[in-house]
A and B are shown apart, each in its own frame.
Chain A
Amino acid sequence: MTFLKINNLDIEYQTRKETISASKNVSFTLKRGEIIGIVGESGSGKSTIANAIINLIDKPGKITNGSILLDETELCNNEEVTRSIRGKKIGFIFQDPQTSLNPLFTIKDQLVETIQTHTDLNYEKALEKSIKLLTEVGIENPNKRIYDYPHQFSGGMRQRVVIALAISCEPDLLIADEPTTALDVSIQFKILNLLKKLTVDRNLGVLIITHDMGVIAEITNKVIILRHGKIVEHGETHKVLSKPSSMECKSLVMSVPPTNKKINRFKYLSPEGKQIINTSINLTKNIIKNWGIRELSNKKLLDFNNVTKVFDEEKILSTKDVEDKIKALDNVSFNIFEGETFGLVGESGSGKSTIAKIISGLLPPSKGEIKFDNLSLFNPKNKMKIREFKGQIQMIFQDPYSSLNPRFKIKHIISEPIKFFQKNIDNYSLNQNINDLIDIVGISRTSLERFPHEFSGGQRQRISIARALATKPRLLICDEPTSALDVTIQAQVLNLLKDLQEQLNLTILFISHDLAVIRQMCDRIAVLKKGSICEINKTENIFNNPKHYYTKELLRLMPKIESEF
C-alpha cells in the first residue's frame, strides 16, 4: 500500500550569484512497513528532500515543481496542512541527540506536550501513554526515568527518547536524518534494531537518510542513491549494492571499505567506466632525493610505556591521589615499529585522541614514559635533543575545515614548516620543495595562490598531508583523517596515505572508530576501551580470531558490508 508518493520534485536554492538545484526530478514511493534509505555524498540533496516533506526547507530554498502526496494529501508548499501533519502523521528523528531535546525540560514535559498538542488526551492519559512509549523504545524503569532531564541520559538513551518522541502521536511516516551518525557502533546497532522492530510492529513507513553504506546494508529494504540532486539508482538494497548498474553507484560501492577482507588499494572508475588504480609512485622521486633514502629497519620507533593520563590534575585545591580520579588513559603500553601502520580503534571516550596528543607533545602524560627512537620525550634533561626531534612526529587532524589557517594561502601553509626547519633555505629550493609536496598529494600547482575556503574537504585533507610531510616526519599520526569525508573521497585519501607510506617508508599511527577503515589500513591494531588496551594483535588475527570479549562484541555489532570488487 503506497502512502508516500513523491513526484518530479524540484528544489532550488537561489543565492546571489547562482541558482543551486538541490533536487532535480526526484520521484519515489514508500509503502507501509518498508524502510527506504537515501544515500549520497554531502551536498547531494538528501536532507533537503526530507525537509521538503515536512515543508521545513531553509530560506532561500524553494520547491519549484513536483508534488508530495501523503495518503493522497498534497503537502507541497502547503504550510497549514503540513503543520497539522508534522509530528502527528510524520515523526522526525534528527542526527544529534545532544541538541534535539530541550535541556530545560524533563522528558515527561516534552513527551506530554507533544502528545497533547496533537491529540485530545488529558494529562493523566498522556502521561500513561508516554510511559508506555518509553517502555516500547527500551528505556528501563520508565516510571522513574520520565522525570529526568535529557542530560541525565546517555547519548544512545537520548536517541531512544527522541524516537519515542517521534512516534508519540502514532505517525505513519518516520523520517530519520542520519539517526546514528553521532553514536558509537554498539549503540548504533541497538538503535537500528529498534527502528527495524518499530517498523514492523507499528507498520510504519521509514525514510532513513545517511551517508553510511553500512547502515543502509544493515537495515533498509530499498535504497535510493542520490548525486547532485538526481536519483542515479533506485531499487532493492542488496541488488543495488551487489550489482550496481549506473557508474556513479558503482564507484560509490567500490569506495566503501569492505569489512570482510583486506584490499590493497581502492579502485576508481575512469570516466569511460574502466577500473583504474592511481598511484603516485613517480611523484615521490623528488621527495626521496630531498629526504635521503630511508632504510626500512623494522626497529622500535616509538615506545609508549605504562602511560596514565588524568585530566583534572592541575586543580590547585584537589589533594586526591591520581589513583582516585577518572583516568583518560590507564597504564597503556604499546610499541610502534618503523615502517608499519599501527591502528588504534575504540569508541568515543576510549582515549584514542589523548594518545595522539601525548605523542605529538600537545599534552604531557601524568605518569609513564614515551620514547621516540630511544629518546625519552617529556624528560626535561633532553630538552635540547627533543628540539631536534621536533618535526619528526607530525599529525593529520580530523576536521579539514579547521585544520588549515583560513587567512593563509596554501603556499604559506606549506612553506611555513619548511622555513622553520631550514632557516636559510633559498627561494628556489623552497619553491621546488613546495611544488614537490603539492604534486605528491595530487593538488594542482595553481592552487598554491588560493585560500583554504576555496577547496573541498578532501582537498583540504590533502593539503594537511602536504603540510605534515613538509617537516620530513618519520612518524605520522592520523587522527580520524577521513571520518569527515565522503566515501569516495575517503578511498582516495586512504590510497594516498598507503602510497606515501610505501614510497617514503613512513611510520603511521592510524586512529579511527571505523573498523572497516582500520582493517584496510593497518598492519597491527590495538583495541582501546575506556582508557585501557584490550588487545593488540596483527590485523588479520584480530578480525578472524578475536581474543578479548570486547573485540568480539565490536566485530559482531559493526554494520557489515561485503565487497564483490
Chain B
Amino acid sequence: MIPQIIKNFLDSDIGYSFIKSKVAIVSSIIFLTIVLISLFAVLVAPYNPFDPKNISLMDAFTPPIWSVGGSIDFILGTDQQGRDMLSTMIYGSQISLIVGFASIIFAMFLGVFLGVTAGYLGGRYEIIVMRLTDVQLTIPSILMALLVDGIARGFISKSLHDDMAIYVLILAIGISEWPQFARITRAATLVEKNKEYVLASKIIGLSHVVIMIRHILPNILRPILVIATIGLSQAIITESTLSFLGVGFPPTNPSLGTLIRFGNNFLFSGEWWITFFPAIFLVVLALSINLLGDWMRDALNPKLKVR
C-alpha cells in the first residue's frame, strides 16, 4: 500500500520535479527530521528539561562539548539554570512547530472561507471583505499579532496567562496571516468561477454551497498549499519574535524564541551558545520550509513547467 503510494508519487510530474531538485530533497529531509525529532522529543532528547530532578544549578553555563570546560553529558552546553541546551531546543522546537501548524491552519480556514465566498458571491460582500484584507495588509503582521496578543491578555486573568499562552499565540498569529489566504483564494476562485464546468453546475441547478465546496475548492488547492507552506515558516518566525519580545511563551515552557531571548542576555559575557544554537536551529527550520515552499510553487505552477 505505502510503497505503491510512493511509487505513484515518484511517477507523477510533481514527483519527477522533486527528484530533479536537489534543494527540494535536502530541505524536505531536514524539515522531516526536525518534525520527527520534535514529535518524538520524549524519546530523542537526552533529558527532560522540565523535570526538576534533571536540573542542577551546578551545571549552569557549561560550554559545548568541544570548548574548554565542556562536558560529555551536555553536548551543546547548558543554560543559566543548568538545563541541557539540546533537550531544551528539541522541546522548544516542538512548541514552535505546534504553534506554527495550528495558527496556519486557523489562518487557512478563515482566509479560504472569506476568499472563496468573496470571489464566488461578489457584490458588496466581496468589496467589504477585500477592503478589510487591504487594511490589514497595511499593518505589519508582527504588529497585528502583538495587538491581538495584547487584547487577549487583557481578558485573561494573570494566573492563567502562562497556561493560555499557546492559544493566545495561535489566535494572534492566525489572525495576522489570513489576508494572504483570502487574496490568493479569491483570485483563484474568480478564475475558476467563470470556467464552463462551474457554469454547467449552475445550469444543472446545484446550490452555491455545493458548487463552492465540491467544485471550486478542490481546484484551487494548489495555490493554497503553496501559501500555507511559506506561511508556516512565517508563523514560526512570528511566534519566535513574539517570544523574543517577551509576550510569547514563559521561561518555564520555552519555545525557540524564548531561548534566544535568554541567551541574548548572556551574549556579551561569553556564553554565546545559549542564544547561538536556538537561533541557528530556527534559521535552518525556516529556511528548509521556505525552500520547500519555493520548489512547490514552481512545481505546481503549470506556467513554469518544464518537461
Provided the pairs A405-B215, A407-B218 are in contact, do residues A420 and B195 lie with their beta carbons within 8 angstroms? no
Q: How many angstroms between the C-alpha atoms of A399 and B205 in the bound complex?
A: 21
Cβ contact within 8 Å between B307 and A397: no
Cβ contact within 8 Å between A464 and B219: no
Asked whether any CB of chain B lies closer than 8 Å to the CB of A427, the reply is: no
What does DSSP make chain B's interface, helix, strand, loop or mixed? helix
Q: How many angstroms between the C-alpha atoms of A403 and B202 in the bound complex?
A: 12
Asked whether any CB of chain B lies closer than 8 Å to the CB of A402, the reply is: yes
Cβ contact within 8 Å between A60 and B307: yes
Asked whether any CB of chain B lies closer than 8 Å to the CB of A226, the reply is: no
- What is the chain B residue whose CB lies nearest that of A316? B124
Cβ contact within 8 Å between A467 and B200: yes
- What is the chain B residue whose CB lies nearest that of A394? B203
Set of chain B residues within 8 Å of A15, measured between Cβ atoms: 307
The answer, among A390, A403, A407, A420, for a CB contact under 8 Å with B200, is: A403
Set of chain A residues within 8 Å of B307, measured between Cβ atoms: 15-16, 59-60
Set of chain A residues within 8 Å of B306, measured between Cβ atoms: 59
Cβ contact within 8 Å between A464 and B200: yes
Q: How many angstroms between the C-alpha atoms of A310 and B284 in the bound complex?
A: 58
Asked whether any CB of chain A lies closer than 8 Å to the CB of B16, the reply is: yes
Asked whether any CB of chain A lies closer than 8 Å to the CB of B51, the reply is: no
Set of chain A residues within 8 Å of B204, measured between Cβ atoms: 390-391, 394, 416-417, 420, 471
Asked whether any CB of chain B lies closer than 8 Å to the CB of A406, the reply is: yes
Q: What is the distance, in angstroms, from A385's C-beta to the closest C-beta of chain B?
A: 13
Asked whether any CB of chain B lies closer than 8 Å to the CB of A507, the reply is: no
Q: 1/0 contact trace for A358-371 toward B, CB 8 Å? A: 00111000000000
Taking CB atoms and an 8 Å cut-off, the chain A residues in 368-415 that contact chain B are 387, 390-391, 393-395, 397-399, 402-407
Asked whether any CB of chain A lies closer than 8 Å to the CB of B44, the reply is: no
Set of chain A residues within 8 Å of B125, measured between Cβ atoms: none
Q: How many angstroms between the C-alpha atoms of A329 and B201 in the bound complex?
A: 25
Q: What is the distance, in angstroms, from B137's C-beta to the closest C-beta of chain A?
A: 25
Set of chain B residues within 8 Å of A404, measured between Cβ atoms: 197
Cβ contact within 8 Å between A361 and B203: yes
The answer, among B16, B205, B219, for a CB contact under 8 Å with A405, is: B219
- What is the chain B residue whose CB lies nearest that of A399? B196
Q: How many angstroms between the C-alpha atoms of A403 and B205 in the bound complex?
A: 16
Taking CB atoms and an 8 Å cut-off, the chain B residues in 87-116 that contact chain A are none
The answer, among B195, B196, B205, B218, for a CB contact under 8 Å with A391, is: B205
Provided the pairs A16-B307, A402-B196 are in contact, do residues A420 and B206 lie with their beta carbons within 8 angstroms? yes
Cβ contact within 8 Å between A397 and B205: no
- What is the chain B residue whose CB lies nearest that of A398? B196
Q: What is the distance, in angstroms, from B126's C-beta to the closest C-beta of chain A?
A: 13
Cβ contact within 8 Å between A406 and B219: yes
Set of chain B residues within 8 Å of A397, measured between Cβ atoms: 196, 199-200
Cβ contact within 8 Å between A362 and B219: no
Set of chain A residues within 8 Å of B215, measured between Cβ atoms: 405
Q: 1/0 contact trace for B206-235 toward A, CB 8 Å? A: 100000000100110000000000000000
Q: How many angstroms between the C-alpha atoms of A60 and B203 in the bound complex?
A: 42
Cβ contact within 8 Å between B197 and A402: yes
- What is the chain A residue whose CB lies nearest that of B195? A402
Taking CB atoms and an 8 Å cut-off, the chain A residues in 30-86 that contact chain B are 59-60
Q: Could you list which residues of chain B lie within 8 angstroms of chain A, going by C-beta atoms?
A: 16, 195-197, 199-206, 215, 218-219, 306-307
- 8 new A-B contacts, CB < 8 A, other than A393-B203, A403-B195, A416-B204, are A16-B16, A360-B203, A362-B202, A395-B203, A398-B196, A403-B197, A405-B219, A420-B204
The 10 lowest CB-CB distance pairs between A and B, nearest first, are A403-B196, A390-B205, A397-B196, A407-B218, A402-B195, A405-B197, A417-B204, A360-B203, A402-B196, A15-B307
Q: Could you list which residues of chain A lie within 8 angstroms of chain B, going by C-beta atoms?
A: 15-16, 59-60, 360-362, 387, 390-391, 393-395, 397-399, 402-407, 416-417, 420, 464, 467-468, 471
